């Protein structure tokens, strides 16, 4: 009954999205000096969560289930951010990547806070 609460799946998806975005950002920072490298980013969580085809299809809750997708297995596609390129063709702005990194950390912290708050409410409801 409590395994499929939407607030828990949403907060989990938000944390996964923040982690994926942080990975893309770190790849951008690692290639900050690579000639002709174009910075990448992923769509914001709101856009990916609402248009997630997994939310409308069957989900596998156990490994033995057929024709379902395992929750959290979806990878968000990165796109080119379209920043202005330096003379060597590199389009990574370290300042912008730092701001994106802080935003991803805040999103992850927000997801954890939502999860903890919902868990607290659930514990209170069950214990009374």
In a domain, 1, yes or no: no
With residues binned 3-state (H G I as helix, E B as strand, rest as coil), the percentages for the chain, rounded to 5, are 55, 5, 40
> Which range of residues forms the domain containing residue 51?
6-127
Q: Report how many domains make up the chain.
A: 1
The predicted-structure confidence for 55-108, as pLDDT tens digits, reads as follows: 544 556 666 655 545 454 455 666 666 667 777 778 888 999 999 999 999 999
The predicted-structure confidence for 39-55, as pLDDT tens digits, reads as follows: 898 988 888 776 654 55
In a domain, 94, yes or no: yes
In a domain, 99, yes or no: yes
For residue 21, name the pLDDT band (cuts at 50, 70, 90): very high
Distance CA 123, CA 30 (A): 43
Cα distances (angstroms) measured from residue 29 to each of 40, 49, 61, 104, 113? 10, 26, 37, 14, 28
**Number of helices and strands in the chain (H, E):** 3, 4
């Amino acid at each position: 009954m409590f395994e499929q609460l939407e607030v828990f799946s949403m907060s989990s998806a938000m944390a996964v999205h923040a982690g994926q975005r942080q990975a893309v950002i770190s790849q951008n920072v690692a290639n900050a000096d690579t000639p002709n490298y174009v910075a990448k980013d992923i769509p914001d969580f709101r856009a990916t969560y609402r248009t997630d085809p997994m939310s409308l299809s069957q989900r596998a809750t156990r490994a033995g289930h057929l024709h379902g997708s395992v929750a959290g297995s979806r990878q968000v596609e990165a796109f080119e951010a379209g920043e202005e390129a330096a003379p060597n063709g590199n389009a990574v702005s370290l300042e912008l990547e730092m701001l994106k990194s802080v935003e991803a950390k805040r999103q992850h912290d927000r997801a954890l806070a939502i999860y903890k708050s919902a868990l607290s409410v659930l514990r209170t409801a069950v214990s009374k």
